[in-house]
Amino acid sequence: MNPYRKPSAPRLLAVAGVVTAVLSLPACGKADASSKTAAVDAKVAAALPSVTLVAARAVRAAPREEVTGTLFPAQALQVGFEVGGRLAAVRVGKGASVKKGDVLGQLDVEISDAQVAQAEAAVAAAEAAATMASDVAARNATLQKEGGVSDLQNRASAAQAAQAQAQLLAAKAQLAQARAARRRHDLKAPFAGTLIDAPEQTGATVGPGTPLFTLEHLDTLVLRTTVAESLRGRLKPGTKVRVEAIGGAGVFTQDAVVRTVLPSADPATRRVPVELAVPNADGRFVAHTLARAVLPLGEDQDAQVVPGTALSSSNGDHVWVVGTGGEARRVEVRVLERREREVVVLASPALESVIDYPTPSLSQGSRVTVK
């Protein structure tokens, strides 16, 4: 056999196949390993909670405090007659607007008129007696100078004249009292307002001071609420406030003002009472209902707007963000304003995006995936 003979073509092909098979074994091993790693990563990703991110929007806003309270009339009073008697007439019905001094109701005046007439007659009799006694005293004084009557008689007539004058004054006082009682048979409105309650029938006997009519002045309402003690120094009387009716869609005003900030806290809640004057000449607000007020507590500053659904309040107001490594991070925020669907917050550092609808299962540093 010639050792230098050239190998045949089939033999060369067989050798090449063996070499190819040997070389392909490591490549197949690497491919299988990559496939297994990818499968494991996919399973891990599938096991992580999925979250949705929403962008935060930059705005300028002032620190605010949102409070709720009850709207009360600026003036409210239950009124009744100062004297007793039978209710003879109701001049104004429920819901009517009245002016100061308008007659609301009247008592029967038959007995009162008779008492006035009797007092007038007593005054007339006392005037006649006083005139006669005065004339007698004057005549006796003249006669006493001429020696016609004694000094004792003169002094007695003078005393009688003085007594008659005193009786006249007493009769006039009784007349004034009778006339005052007669005037009090007409019940007049002490201030302008709206009649909220009134008797629906007459004929009943009422006693002095029995409340019969309820009158409220509704052109201005007073919103009574409370704030934390730490905010008391940041509220100034005269500051304009936005007030919105709770349950009344679109009912609000920007012209309410802080009227009073009391220097004494409520003993039950330890919060400071605050009163806001709410203009209501057009009747948009309803007295004795709830309202919401947004109290300004400082100057405008850089802030951010996020959806209300992104804010959590458990253990303090906060939002959740996703870090560069895919981990959830809790960020404490300060709420400046709560809107219908959004909240204005302060956060440091500034927020770029937040997790919307964070679940209670989120914890600091837990891995998440973004939808």
> How does pLDDT run across 248-292, given as a tens digit for each residue?
778 999 999 999 999 999 999 999 999 999 999 999 999 999 999
Question: Is the distance from CB of 331 to CB of 345 less than 8 angstroms?
Answer: no
Of 365, 358, 360, 363, the C-alpha closest to 51 is 358
Q: What mean pLDDT value characterizes the chain? A: 87
DSSP annotation of 6 reads P
pTM of the model: 0.63
> How does pLDDT run across 8-42, given as a tens digit for each residue?
544 544 444 544 444 444 544 554 545 555 444 44
Query: Is the predicted pLDDT of residue 223 greater than 60, yes or no?
Result: yes
Position 61 scores a pLDDT of 86
- Percent of the chain at pLDDT > 90 equals 66
pLDDT band at 86 (very low <50, low <70, confident <90, very high): very high
Position 249 scores a pLDDT of 75
Position 13 scores a pLDDT of 45
- Percent of the chain at pLDDT > 70 equals 87
Position 16 scores a pLDDT of 46
Please state at what angle helix 110-146 crosses helix 151-183, rounded to 10 degrees: 160
Helix (H) or strand (E) holding 258: strand 252-261
> How does pLDDT run across 336-363, given as a tens digit for each residue?
887 889 999 999 889 999 999 999 888 8
Of 91, 96, 170, the C-alpha closest to 130 is 170
In DSSP terms, 279 is beta-bridged to 220
